[in-house]
Structure 1
């Protein structure tokens, strides 16, 4: 180990602290699986809500989410309290999520789109608060390019455990003789009880330190424009939209595809889905490690290609054969686990660069933007897939009694959409500039400026004189550093 590498390694977040902090990922990823895979199909097939109404409800909620997400990010960045910034918001988010879930659980036959939209909004408000505070908090805990990949890998791996735990519920329920609808309701109750336990662990075990901000630096409208039009952030948003839309599209159709095209039972479909998700425990840290060797954006590109090739082979697997499908589902999930891990770690690097340029912490706003793209993708995937199927004559309540043409259309929708979007996401990273070397340079400049800030504060405390904290020195990428 070199002398330069030793301090960096010594400054890493301890694994025990990373695991405790990652507890919020348990209910978030469990909910993501439940909502993406089970809830839309539950409302359509078990509650009897028409496909078009389900699609409209989920799509509308995502559109309403747009201004809410940004407002939450801005609110977090401006929050100051003795209890902390992100710790406070974490405590606020859990009750909203739990209330929304409970009200969706009580929905009965004949429920309309207004009811679904209202309580989906409440649930997603809680999810947004928890997710934004968790990711922005992570960006302040892990300081280096490599440690961020590692921390987000741990968060993803813990989230996988949450997703697998919720998928085990319908499998066990089926073995005990309960129906599919009862299994979904048991999943929702599990999420309601898991959320406060996970939040309590994070708040109890995780310290929070607010990033240094430059005194006297006012945030202007053009600062917002700079964030949105930043080369790296613009690429990340496009990539995140595409690599979220692909798996989200697949998730929206998974239960219907597994049941009606592959002819699996509900229990078998959930076993395969559990394998797909559980593979992320291995995939997330492995791909995070690979990102420290070949860079984060190249790892995303490689992962997208492998994911697409594996997905194309799924329809050729023997129908009803559980053992034959297990390896392909494992490696497909292995690759999918890297998408959000790496884009979120890349966003943390952009947050550093923005703090260097603007002198203010923007993690909340940046993660609001990436979370927003994921939510838009999730809503669009349900809206588009269910809308296309309804136009092609597919009826989820008929199941395998649909026409051969309708079931073939189901298969094409399941495969083609994810491949197209994920490969577009990979293409968006061609020419990405925020490399490991650039991220390390930004960290060095921030550390030097923070040290100067602390030295200035020490002088003030000793002399009793007020002095303005040092303003940010122009970085190599800032407008002030460019020749006129």
Structure 2
């Protein structure tokens, strides 16, 4: 191995660049919390739309949105502009997300399911563009095994700040004795203002290099199946599905569980959720660090086991006891922060493996497929859980009196689903093969090939000059 290649493998992305690039995580994480935890309850409780209809709306939108991601990822990978490949998509996604957020979080009176479905589609389109371009850009920004874990850990840690800012809104409003109904509107304005600031910082401060491509391989629809069935990527997809479905299921029922089962107010439940989210500020980088010590797939198994054991303990929280409630919520949030850090970093490793074989950049497409599994999980976590609650007699409307049996069914739904799916996600990593040693060899070959292609124009110029000299000598 050459000294240049060895140096490239150990080179780390400057911390200032990593922090600036992570800014896109702020609105993405803020949207994730606001939409999964607060928005469904707002439409069901304050706007009076039937619980099952709200769940169905989220399910329908997710199903429509899923194939769009594949097209977006493929198009991003084909994009080549003087501004870069993923930078232009970051600029495009911001305004679309802002429009969707505005109309969803500040709806007029008397809206119905059709209004909810349309603006959910707009919002998810903008969010998909930002999230996909961010993840794929990260894969090219930090090309080496350990530095990827570090970068994705920083991205997740910065995202915690966006999520925590959203969680602070109902806490502050409750302290001011303001109505719960105003929380969602405030969240909407916050995200609308945050999005252009974050996107501008990323576009301004982050470099982007488009990797050279090898001629001769074109992507066909049947190649989707080839990507999905790659052993390493198939494990990541199944794990990501389970690790999204478990916490997503938990998020959909979170406020119902902590208010009706554990006896907390909405503001207190938001404080506990803030503890859960803020734990990720510590957990995400430390789980990334753990991955550099024991590999990403083993760190995933540690995270899923710790999360599941902690979640079971939530039923032991005394009614309304904030001090005790914070302990398991912090531990669960610490481990949960590692889920996306590790699976997204492993997806970047697979992207390198694919580029070595095919000579083409497929990061956007691979992340699009991964996000598809997340959206499938999101659709089922809200649609299925809301449907189940509506069938077991649970009433979500403000001031409703639920029976002990319906509360017990709420507790079962809240705990069993997340534990089962998260443990299945960890089990997917048993026997995973694309570790540090294998990826190091892939990067060595990619770096050497990329260096040859970077030198190609110089070689062509030298060859042409030599040919001209030879022709002149022959004429003389």
Shorter-chain TM band? over 0.9
Whole-angstrom distance in 2 between the partners of 1:455 and 1:81 = 21
Once the two structures are superposed, the pairs formed by residues 164-203 of structure 1 within 5 Å of their partners are 164-203=164-203
User: How much has 1:316 moved relative to structure 2?
Assistant: 1.4
1:339 — aligned with what? 339
The answer to whether the 8 Å contact 2:46/2:398 transfers is: no
1:139 — aligned with what? 139
The answer to whether the 8 Å contact 1:259/1:399 transfers is: no
User: How much has 1:10 moved relative to structure 2?
Assistant: 5.5
Please state whether the residue corresponding to 1:337 is helix, strand or coil.
helix
User: Deviations 1:262-313 (Å, cap 9, x if unpaired)?
Assistant: 1101110110000000000000000100011111011111111110000001
Note if 1:17 corresponds to 2:17: yes
1:480 — aligned with what? none
Normalising by structure 1, what TM-score? 0.93
User: Deviations 1:12-56 (Å, cap 9, x if unpaired)?
Assistant: 100110000000000000110011110011111111111111011
User: How much has 1:205 moved relative to structure 2?
Assistant: 0.3
1:265 — aligned with what? 265
Whole-angstrom distance in 1 between the partners of 2:336 and 2:152 = 14
The answer to whether the 8 Å contact 2:250/2:415 transfers is: yes
1:369 — aligned with what? 369
User: How much has 1:224 moved relative to structure 2?
Assistant: 3.2
Normalising by structure 2, what TM-score? 0.95
User: Deviations 1:421-441 (Å, cap 9, x if unpaired)?
Assistant: 111111111111111111111
2:226 — aligned with what? 226
Whole-angstrom distance in 1 between the partners of 2:308 and 2:225 = 34
User: How much has 1:4 moved relative to structure 2?
Assistant: 10
Consecutive unaligned residues in structure 2, runs of 5 or more? 466-476
User: Deviations 1:123-150 (Å, cap 9, x if unpaired)?
Assistant: 0000000000000000000011000000
Whole-angstrom distance in 2 between the partners of 1:43 and 1:413 = 21
Moved more, 216-225 or 126-135: 216-225
Note if 1:256 corresponds to 2:252: no
> Structure 1 pair 5/273, CA: closer, same or farther in 2 (3 Å)?
farther
Please state whether the residue corresponding to 2:80 is helix, strand or coil.
coil
The answer to whether the 8 Å contact 1:356/1:445 transfers is: yes
User: Deviations 1:191-232 (Å, cap 9, x if unpaired)?
Assistant: 010000000000000011001111333334554332121111
Please state whether the residue corresponding to 2:263 is helix, strand or coil.
coil
Please state whether the residue corresponding to 1:401 is helix, strand or coil.
coil
The answer to whether the 8 Å contact 1:48/1:110 transfers is: no
Please state whether the residue corresponding to 1:418 is helix, strand or coil.
helix
Please state whether the residue corresponding to 2:36 is helix, strand or coil.
helix
1:116 — aligned with what? 116
The answer to whether the 8 Å contact 1:47/1:108 transfers is: no
User: Deviations 1:329-383 (Å, cap 9, x if unpaired)?
Assistant: 0000000000011000000000000000101000000000111111111121001
2:208 — aligned with what? 208
Moved more, 428-437 or 235-244: 428-437
2:378 — aligned with what? 378
The answer to whether the 8 Å contact 2:106/2:188 transfers is: no
User: How much has 1:400 moved relative to structure 2?
Assistant: 6.6
The answer to whether the 8 Å contact 2:5/2:444 transfers is: no
Whole-angstrom distance in 1 between the partners of 2:424 and 2:117 = 30
Moved more, 391-400 or 440-449: 391-400
User: Deviations 1:128-180 (Å, cap 9, x if unpaired)?
Assistant: 00000000000000011000000000000000011001111111111112111
> Structure 1 pair 143/183, CA: closer, same or farther in 2 (3 Å)?
same
User: How much has 1:457 moved relative to structure 2?
Assistant: 2.5
Please state whether the residue corresponding to 1:376 is helix, strand or coil.
helix
User: How much has 1:111 moved relative to structure 2?
Assistant: 2.0
2:275 — aligned with what? 275
Whole-angstrom distance in 1 between the partners of 2:265 and 2:225 = 51
Whole-angstrom distance in 2 between the partners of 1:434 and 1:162 = 32
Note if 1:411 corresponds to 2:414: no
The answer to whether the 8 Å contact 1:259/1:400 transfers is: no
Consecutive unaligned residues in structure 1, runs of 5 or more? 466-484
